[in-house]
Structure 1
Amino acid sequence: MTTSYPTRFDATGNRSVRTIRWQARRLNQANRLWGSNGVSFGPDGRLYVAQFLAGQISAVDPATGDVDVVVPMDGPVQSPDDLAFGADGSMYIADLVPGRVWRRSFEGEYTLVSDEVKVPNGITCVGDRLFVNEMRPGGRLLELFPDGGEPLVLTEGLALGNAMQLGPDGRLYYPHMMTGQVWRIPPDGGVPEMVAEDVHQPVAVRFDQGGVLHVLSLGVEGFVTRIDLHGTGSRTIVTSGLAGLDNAAFDTDNRMFVSSYASGGITELHPDGRTREIVPRGLDGPYGVTVDLGGTVYVGDHYRLASQAPSDDGGDESDVQGDMSSLTLVPPFVHGIANAGGSVHLTSQYGDVHTYDPDHGATRERAKGLDQPVGITVGPDGSLVVAEAGAGRVVAIDDSDTVTVLVEGLDHPVDVAFDIVGHCYVSDDRLGAVLRIGQDGTTEIVADGLGAPQGLVVRGDTLFTVETGPRRLTAISLSSGETTIEAEDLPVGPPPGTAPRAEPALFTHGMTGSPRPFAGLAAAPDGSLLLSANGEGSVWRFRPAGPSAPDRHHESKEQNMISTGLEGRAVVVTGAASGIGRTTALKFAREGAKVLVADLDQAGAEETVKEIKAAGGHALAVVGDLSDQQVVDDVVARAVEAFGRLDVLVNNAGIMDRMSALGETDDAEWERVIRINLTAPFLLTRAVLPHMLAAGSGSIVFTASEAALRGSAAGAAYTASKHAVVGLVKSLAVMYRGQGIRANAIAPGPTATSIRVDAGAEAHGPTVIGPLIGANIGRRGSAQEQADAIVYLASDAASFVNGAVLPVDDGWAAV
């Protein structure tokens, strides 16, 4: 359930996301504005706000914060960056891309004043005269004539001009953004004069009612430099803390109102740096979204990387958890985003791919010169895989930053994702399809007839995509091809009722232009989905809604009616390099758990981890002999360090004996089997118990054996070790059942795994046991069937099961 309030997507506040299978909630408050750029008070006393990213201008009542759209995004104006009012009440608009200046009459009629200004930005009126400058290196400052006439160039060579204003001395003041200077020039022309230098990243100049010059800085600190040019000459700096200042306006009471290109909103800024929020700030987009192992959400928001740490609310259904804080980041544009191994990988639609280290603030360029890269993910081999929309390609970037084309000839690919076996999928919003990319660069349609699919994520057997046309979240079964609608009325794209419009150019006169909207999608460790709701400037979390949750993994819908409750849990699985252990680790990961893979086989353990990560899961490997206390301590320490908790232990690692009778069992065989099958799980269980007891809960599952139930399934050493394992299970269940700890075991029958029997050619044991086994077993089981039983016993679905030994043997135990 979410709180209703007006947003830029829905001015009424009455619309809401519709879904049955999910619990939907916002992570942050929706934004009323699409960023905020040029501002100016109009004849009616309201503050008018240009919104470059939306092609929209709104009017804000400073007293109430009410917002009304005045210039809609489906009108003739495409990307307004600044505005000014003439003496007759007409609004003049600097339309940055494609480079036009408009006049909007008081009655709402539009007239094109000029299309000869390159990257028009700063604009101001002096009586009935109109001036505009260009935001580009070597830009011009011009006078335009609304009633006709050629533009008049007052000066050239501006180092990125921006918001300007007439000073009390009758001259035009304007910033040079690239050089940290402020200049002035008479409106009738003359020699430009520098009046201030060493100003921090100047983006706008404004005079208050007393004639004091205020220079706004575009950095994260929110500096405003006050220079009393025409009085004492003093110079002071106010630190507002408002990142990405863009413009300002003073009312008749000399109150200063500022805008932010980075986060929108309108804020009153007092002379001492105190602020009062008029229109709340928020996300301009957002675009891509991702989440790390610890639950921190990262969002690409065009001008910045925003983030939100996990909350401690226990996942309740209250509406807004908090705001998205801003991170200092170079490069300045962020659209696609992925997280892996503690790094955040970023694309900019302007051609760049970077890797960012949040812990150290370091950024590494991975590729440049691409044609509109958007969605990004990490492939099974660790390479970055990018949807290059403008080129119709999907490319991979390896550790040496070499770019390789995986597929080309697509229409407009916007996002990419991998399934658990390493297949790559791509969404194409113009084709209206999701495709699977083959190893040979061919493509196969997985689903078509979709409405502009963008964000893409795979969980188990289910692929989710955001259809931005019909505004819905759609699930596609990768095995059956069945398509289901999971949520509708998503706040993505332009507001309902907005007519289609031409897209502004991505580049203009060597400068960056207007990016394309992108509704990203991500899967969180707790099993939820995260959506970039770019229609309203928020991120939504979709949690499975209990028994009616959708078929997120490979199981059937009937199986999924039982909730495992494993999302976000931390699990240790031993012997996970192959066989039952590997299959169990993969199963836990599909359920949304974070998995530590422990095994002596380094290559196998790393392969299991790679499979989990390729499917969007979270895993790490620890290699070593688990009968060594030092290795055991390392396993527990690594799990707690990586996951912050330890919820489930699966003692699966084990070895077979030589099927030897007791009289044929030598000391070495006995010691080896008992050490691996009994001592190792004893040591590891003892090590994890303090963490589970501190948490007040934990589930421990042992892989015993059919040999734990009878004397006719293995040799003396193996049979003794597995009988002892059952003894451990029963002791644990009795000793700790009042403290939230459960212990259970499975007793697998014959299963197709890599465990080997090394029987001697003349041994007596096999000649006795072999016929007994052959006469009583049914079919050979699979590792998946054993894994399903383990995960069940570990899950909340088995919350009342404790001290049990579950035969998984096709009825062998019943014979």
Structure 2
Amino acid sequence: MKPVFPLALLAAFIGAPAFADNTYQPPQALVAPSAFKGVHGLAMDQQGRLLAGSVVSATMYQVDIESGDVTTFIGPPEGQADDIAIGPNGEMAWTGFYLGKVFYRENDDAPIKVLAEGLPGINSIAFDQDTGKLYASQVFLGDAVWEIDLTGDSEPRQIAEDLGGFNGFEVGSDGWLYGPLWFKGQVVKLNPADGQTQVIAEGFDTPAAVNFDSKGNLYVLDTHAGTLNRVDVATGETNVVATLDTSLDNLAIDKDDRIFVSNMADNSIEMVNPSSGKTRVITKGELAVPAGLTINEDGKTLYIADIFAFRSINTDNGQVTDIRRAHGSDLEYPSSVASGQGRFLLTSTSTGTLQIIDEKTHETRALVHGLNAPSAAVELPDGSIVVSEMASGKLVKLSGEKYDQRTDLTEGLHGPVQMIMGQDENIYLTEAAGFLTRVNPKTGELTRVAKDLAMPEGLAQLQNGDFVIAETAERRLSVLDLEGGEREVLAEDLPIGLPTGPGMPPSGIPTGVAVDANGVIYFGSDIDNGLYKIEPVIVEPERAVADKSEQP
């Protein structure tokens, strides 16, 4: 394989530090790992355990309130919990959002049962503490409220539909269901007998969840405003208890009326004192779910598609800065990011979206929906944009003022994951089936330039033209020399390669890779949610000259 740094030998003779060819130091954490991959549903059980659910990792966790330690309570796939409910006898039910299932367990030692299925987007769940009845709602992938048969023998009874997103709800002491209408900015109560609804309060940006304390006070989270609010059920009067951050998801209240709030963009759970509004962070991460990466020209700033946020990272000190947050803006769960001509190109496999964000103002220039699980995007010199569609196996060229003119560039791809523009002005992309593929952007001609790769995802090109690829099935980064046909493992035993979860694409969370002009390689972890850098080994001048003199 040709040297990664062809000027290394020359540098040794002129007394400057030299890079050792294709030799890298062990990975270093630039951004520290965190516990969750987005955190959603919360519940306090009768044993005083704080439970938290994550849809992306399909896992339910137990969180130590004092230390912040997080341990797995129920693993994947059954642990996928968008919301968690505790019954009057300590039984537990939870919702598998992508699975479309309602899970149930009588106690820790009892088997897990599926009470209902075929309910995509099953979201919030709550028990009536007096009757033991169980209710659940569909949001985003459906819009309905159901009564769930606890025996699992009967089909769920639909109570109401087309409400406007009846999200994190609770059952009041009167037996009615109290919850937010996500898409209407209202909090309502719903009669489970006939589906009748009454508006309690309105004027919220995006109300996400409600809960009652022991005194009957109703607390409401507004995810767009980032506030925890107290609502007088009788009058609808609303007061802000605490201002947190956007991307709030759920809340739980313990027997002492302490309030616990989850934030999906920060991988955080905070405890709020409702009397004073003071908060304490129990656990938090700098990143949410690190996925696609790109880097600016001077190598000082990384940009990351963080699923629940779009962020920048200072490569010198690892400082993370929010650019956009899900539910605090129009950001749509980005899984990849590329640099275009003064703009960022973000794609979301889950929402079928291409989002174009101005590099300087961070305003959205365009939002293109209706794509078929878009996994990456690149911009061509004429300003048109090529998007890889994982579900269709196509590269699609979008043009026109609103990018509504669609042309199929090529097809027959087997799970395209990550895509970049090569130094030779061809498009290069990884395919989940094991290929590195080149596509001529003018003709659509497709050539598979490497095969037998182990679930390749992240892709970047070194200055000398070699490609760095994340082979996630083998948890390694490899370097490919296309000219010489050689392949070399650059680093292995890396924290990448999380098995794909329910509702996720074949590649799961794509492992992003980026390289700066000095050959420093950056990659995100879908295992521990950190971000790492691998620096080339530098040979001191004296040693380099000595090594040269010892050669025959």
- What is the aligned partner in structure 2 of residue 202 from structure 1? 207
Identical positions, percent: 28
Q: Deviations over 1:552-583 (max 9, x none)?
A: xxxxxxxxx79xxxxxxxxxxxxxxxxxxxxx
Larger Rg: 1
Counterpart-to-counterpart distance in 2, 1:493 and 1:260: 25
| 1:325 correspondence with 2:299 | no
- What is the aligned partner in structure 1 of residue 503 from structure 2? 504
- What is the aligned partner in structure 1 of residue 17 from structure 2? none
Query: Is contact 1:380–1:422 with CA below 8 Å preserved after alignment?
Result: no
Counterpart-to-counterpart distance in 2, 1:138 and 1:471: 37
- Higher mean C-alpha displacement, 55-64 vs 186-195: 186-195
Q: 1:157 aligns with which of 162, 166, 169?
A: 162
Query: Is contact 2:58–2:75 with CA below 8 Å preserved after alignment?
Result: yes
- What is the aligned partner in structure 2 of residue 757 from structure 1? none
The alpha carbon displacement at 1:447 in A equals 1.9
| 1:178 correspondence with 2:183 | yes
One-letter amino acid matched to 1:446: V
Counterpart-to-counterpart distance in 1, 2:292 and 2:527: 13
Distance 1:283 1:207, change over 3 A: same
The alpha carbon displacement at 1:526 in A equals 4.2
1:512-527 to structure 2, matched below 5 A, reads: 516-527=508-519
One-letter amino acid matched to 1:443: L
- What is the aligned partner in structure 1 of residue 197 from structure 2? 192
Q: Deviations over 1:343-390 (max 9, x none)?
A: 211112132222101432321226432211112334455543332221
Q: Deviations over 1:76-106 (max 9, x none)?
A: 45x4211111233222011112311111231
- What is the aligned partner in structure 2 of residue 368 from structure 1? 369
One-letter amino acid matched to 1:35: G
- What is the aligned partner in structure 2 of residue 386 from structure 1? 387
Counterpart-to-counterpart distance in 2, 1:275 and 1:68: 23
The alpha carbon displacement at 1:155 in A equals 2.9
Q: 1:287 aligns with which of 269, 291, 295?
A: 291
One-letter amino acid matched to 1:405: D
- What is the aligned partner in structure 2 of residue 434 from structure 1? 436
| 1:301 correspondence with 2:302 | no
Runs of 5+ consecutive residues of structure 2 not aligned to the other structure: 1-21, 546-552
- What is the aligned partner in structure 2 of residue 470 from structure 1? 474
Query: Is contact 2:500–2:508 with CA below 8 Å preserved after alignment?
Result: no
SS in structure 2 of the partner of residue 469 of structure 1: helix
SS in structure 1 of the partner of residue 391 of structure 2: helix
Counterpart-to-counterpart distance in 1, 2:521 and 2:400: 29
- What is the aligned partner in structure 1 of residue 410 from structure 2? 407
Q: 2:127 aligns with which of 121, 125, 128?
A: 125
Runs of 5+ consecutive residues of structure 1 not aligned to the other structure: 1-18, 314-320, 495-499, 507-513, 549-560, 563-815
Q: 1:222 aligns with which of 215, 220, 226?
A: 226
| 1:542 correspondence with 2:534 | yes
Query: Is contact 2:314–2:320 with CA below 8 Å preserved after alignment?
Result: no
- What is the aligned partner in structure 1 of residue 428 from structure 2? 425
- Higher mean C-alpha displacement, 132-141 vs 242-251: 132-141
Distance 1:386 1:152, change over 3 A: closer
| 1:269 correspondence with 2:268 | no
Counterpart-to-counterpart distance in 2, 1:363 and 1:200: 20
One-letter amino acid matched to 1:420: Q
The alpha carbon displacement at 1:190 in A equals 6.0
One-letter amino acid matched to 1:153: Q
1:602-617 to structure 2, matched below 5 A, reads: none
Counterpart-to-counterpart distance in 2, 1:366 and 1:235: 34
Query: Is contact 2:417–2:507 with CA below 8 Å preserved after alignment?
Result: no
One-letter amino acid matched to 1:384: I
Q: Deviations over 1:176-200 (max 9, x none)?
A: 1111111113444463211111122
TM-score normalised by length of structure 1: 0.59
Q: 1:532 aligns with which of 495, 499, 524?
A: 524
One-letter amino acid matched to 1:202: P
The alpha carbon displacement at 1:476 in A equals 0.4
| 1:113 correspondence with 2:118 | no
One-letter amino acid matched to 2:537: A
Whichever structure has more helix as a proportion of its residues is 1
- What is the aligned partner in structure 2 of residue 235 from structure 1? 238
One-letter amino acid matched to 2:119: V
The alpha carbon displacement at 1:474 in A equals 0.4
1:546-557 to structure 2, matched below 5 A, reads: 546-547=538-539
Q: Deviations over 1:445-488 (max 9, x none)?
A: 32211100011111222111100101101000121011111111
Counterpart-to-counterpart distance in 1, 2:24 and 2:320: 26
Counterpart-to-counterpart distance in 2, 1:517 and 1:180: 31
SS in structure 2 of the partner of residue 252 of structure 1: coil
- What is the aligned partner in structure 1 of residue 98 from structure 2? 97
Counterpart-to-counterpart distance in 1, 2:195 and 2:146: 13
Counterpart-to-counterpart distance in 1, 2:170 and 2:395: 47
Counterpart-to-counterpart distance in 2, 1:515 and 1:168: 45
Q: 1:24 aligns with which of 21, 24, 27?
A: 27
Q: Deviations over 1:740-779 (max 9, x none)?
A: xxxxxxxxxxxxxxxxxxxxxxxxxxxxxxxxxxxxxxxx
Q: Deviations over 1:394-434 (max 9, x none)?
A: 233457534443321111111222332223222111x2111
Counterpart-to-counterpart distance in 1, 2:367 and 2:173: 49
Query: Is contact 1:455–1:466 with CA below 8 Å preserved after alignment?
Result: yes
Counterpart-to-counterpart distance in 2, 1:355 and 1:154: 40
The alpha carbon displacement at 1:391 in A equals 1.5
Query: Is contact 2:125–2:135 with CA below 8 Å preserved after alignment?
Result: yes
SS in structure 1 of the partner of residue 524 of structure 2: strand
The alpha carbon displacement at 1:489 in A equals 1.7
The alpha carbon displacement at 1:501 in A equals 6.5
The alpha carbon displacement at 1:121 in A equals 1.1
One-letter amino acid matched to 1:335: S
Whichever structure has more strand as a proportion of its residues is 2
TM-score normalised by length of structure 2: 0.85
1:317-356 to structure 2, matched below 5 A, reads: 321-328=318-325, 329-349=329-349, 350-356=351-357
The alpha carbon displacement at 1:118 in A equals 4.4
Counterpart-to-counterpart distance in 1, 2:536 and 2:140: 49
SS in structure 1 of the partner of residue 162 of structure 2: strand
- Higher mean C-alpha displacement, 447-456 vs 412-421: 412-421
Counterpart-to-counterpart distance in 2, 1:243 and 1:411: 37
